[in-house]
Structure 1
Amino acid sequence: MRVDKFLWCVRYYKTRSIATEACRKGQVKIASETVKPSREVYPSDEIEIRKNQIDYKIQVLDIPESRVGAKLVNIYINDITPKENLEKLDLLKYSKDYYRKKGVGRPTKKDRRELDDWFDPENKND
């Protein structure tokens, strides 16, 4: 199975075209080598994926026939991502919260529209 199709089947990417684009950008590696989207995947391959500033590492256990449900993903892959990389994800979440907490500071355009609708619901611009 192609690597882009495999990553889509095991739900690492929402669409196959996003998986293909990630391969073309060099965000997917097998055996520390950047791969093209058409590269075949075999059981026991280790795939490194750079997604959302995190380096994921998975081991292929089996090849699915088609896209699988989220509960069945563990049958086909083994997640061997180092814990340090997953801790980075938590740090990213906290850093995003730091910049602007909800309800603090100047309202965004969406916040302002919601306030206008709340104060004057009859004067809605549809």
Structure 2
Amino acid sequence: MNATAEKLRLDKWLWFARFFKTRSLAAARVATGDVRVNGERVTKRATTIGAGDVLTFAQGRVVRVVEVVGIGTRRGPAPEAQALYNDMTPPPPPPEDAVPVNPKFEGKGRPTKRDRRQADLSRARHLE
């Protein structure tokens, strides 16, 4: 394999790997400096990346950390795109505003009227 096939433009790779819907969206994200390659901020769309590079960027509300495993030749189907990277994104923290589930009701079907009133009271106490 020659050296040109082992490297690819950053914006093109992000598009190939299906992180962005269009190549222009990927290029715009890189141009604003929101993408880091191996911990260094990048603003050039034509920055070349290869296997082993680690990319960090925001996608929606999640900060994605991915390791480049391969360089694609096209923007193919999702399974082909997922083979291009190793996702190292940490799992999201559990939601803090979740109401605890009463173990009394788990797997027992519908609660009785008395059980429902007690659950409402415990929820009201929890929110205070």
TM-score category by the smaller chain?
0.5 to 0.7
Tell me if 1:72 matches 2:80: yes
| 8 A Cα contact 1:27 1:51, kept in partner | no
Q: 1:3-82, aligned counterparts within 5 Å?
A: 3-35=10-42, 36-82=44-90
Matched residues, percent identical? 28
User: Whose radius of gyration is greater, 1 or 2?
Assistant: 2
Note the residue ranges of structure 1 that are not aligned, 5 or more in a row.
95-126
Displacement of 1:5 = 0.3
Counterpart Cα distance in 1 of 2:77 and 2:41: 28
Q: 1:113-124, aligned counterparts within 5 Å?
A: none
Counterpart Cα distance in 2 of 1:11 and 1:74: 8
Task: Please provide the CA RMSD for this pair.
Answer: 1.6
Counterpart Cα distance in 2 of 1:53 and 1:27: 13
Note the residue ranges of structure 2 that are not aligned, 5 or more in a row.
1-7, 99-128
Output the amino acid matched with 2:72: P
| 8 A Cα contact 2:75 2:81, kept in partner | no
Counterpart Cα distance in 1 of 2:82 and 2:62: 20
Which residue does 2:104 correspond to in 1?
none
Secondary structure of the residue aligned to 2:57 is strand
Write out the 4+ residue segments of structure 1 that deviate beyond 3 Å after TM superposition. Answer: none
Displacement of 1:53 = 2.7
Secondary structure of the residue aligned to 1:57 is strand
Counterpart Cα distance in 2 of 1:20 and 1:77: 19
Structure number with higher helix proportion: 1
